[in-house]
Amino acid sequence: MDSNYSIGVFDSGVGGLTVFEEIVNALPQYNFIYLGDNARVPYGTRSFDTVYQYTLEGVTKLHELGCRLIIIACNTASAKALRTIQQNDFLKFEQPFKVLGVIRPTTEEIGGLTKTNKVGILATSGTVNSQSYVIELNKLHPQVQVFQEACPMWVPLIENNDFNNEGGLYFIKKNIQNLLSQSPDIDTIILGCTHYPLIMDIIKQNIPSHIKVVSQGNIVASSLKDYLIRHTEIETILQKEGKRLFLTTEDPNLFDEKAKLFVKNQINSQIIEI
């Protein structure tokens, strides 16, 4: 049996690196290929069809490059494309593979964290409008009431390193207040966008300390670890040389520069067309 396959991690840009870092820390032995579609970021304000099409192209490229397990490390793409790819597109691929998202593992975890059963979601417009968190939480934890706030400015502010000034802070505070004003009993807030952990300190400064702020990276990483234990048919075909390859659809220098905001080690990415 071939065992030369990698784990693919797909995101609209650099945000997925917050998830990637945690996954790699938890599973350092595997080979990883990270693909950021920086040429077409942001996905969060785009239509369902566009996000689905872009995500399918990214997943197809990672599959071509030898990934047989692909994590869509982007909430917007997980919300808008994952199910359609799983249901409609798998049959088109000759080599079977698995695609997992970030919303399901996050919602699985949340039921055990809230005491008041009132959970807030901060996410992109695409994720909020898809209702994916509401649907998944209703399925898994029907007792939990979900409150959402779309933060369309946050990704551009973070991508441009423009969040820690008067203009940036205005939007961050406004969105948090909008969320909190929906219920005084929210005790848990999910950062439902891979970019948001980057401004965790600012978010926490604007949220009462009794409210838990949950980012996804470690949740997704431990869920993936568990998945590989349960799915030995995939685990055994994955190559374990600890290699990392970073690909971007835009200027690699820009990717490497932006990546510094997200990861500790210097990244040397390569450009790829998808």
Residue numbers of the site for ligand DGL (CB under 6 A)?
11-13, 15-16, 41-44, 74-76, 124, 127, 155, 193-195
- Rounded to a whole number of angstroms, the minimum distance from the CB of residue 118 to ligand DGL is 23
Measured distance CA(272)–CA(252) in Å, rounded: 9
- Rounded to a whole number of angstroms, the minimum distance from the CB of residue 216 to ligand DGL is 8
Q: How far is CA 121 from CA 49, 105, 154, 196, in A?
A: 23, 15, 14, 11
Catalytic residue among 158, 193, 198, 247: 193
Measured distance CA(96)–CA(114) in Å, rounded: 38
| Amino acid in the structure at residue 90 | F
| Residue 193 designated active-site | yes
- Rounded to a whole number of angstroms, the minimum distance from the CB of residue 193 to ligand DGL is 4
Q: Which is nearer to ligand DGL, 71 or 238 (CB)?
A: 71
What is the H or E stretch that residue 191 is in?
A: strand 188-191
- Rounded to a whole number of angstroms, the minimum distance from the CB of residue 29 to ligand DGL is 26
Q: Which is nearer to ligand DGL, 144 or 150 (CB)?
A: 150
Measured distance CA(99)–CA(24) in Å, rounded: 17
Tell me which residue has its CB nearest to ligand DGL: 44
Q: How far is CA 8 from CA 36, 232, 240, 243, in A?
A: 11, 17, 14, 12
Instruction: Decide if 197 contacts 16 (C-beta within 8 A).
Output: no
| Residue 67 designated active-site | no
- Rounded to a whole number of angstroms, the minimum distance from the CB of residue 73 to ligand DGL is 7
Q: Which is nearer to ligand DGL, 127 or 188 (CB)?
A: 127
Is the preceding omega at residue 208 within 30 degrees of 0, hence cis?
Answer: no
Q: Which is nearer to ligand DGL, 14 or 207 (CB)?
A: 14
Instruction: Decide if 38 contacts 102 (C-beta within 8 A).
Output: no
Measured in degrees and rounded to the nearest 5, phi and psi for residue 94 equal: -70, -45
**What is the DSSP code string of 33-45?**
EEEE-GGG---TT
Catalytic residue among 23, 41, 74, 190: 74
Q: Which is nearer to ligand DGL, 34 or 43 (CB)?
A: 43
Catalytic residues: 74, 193
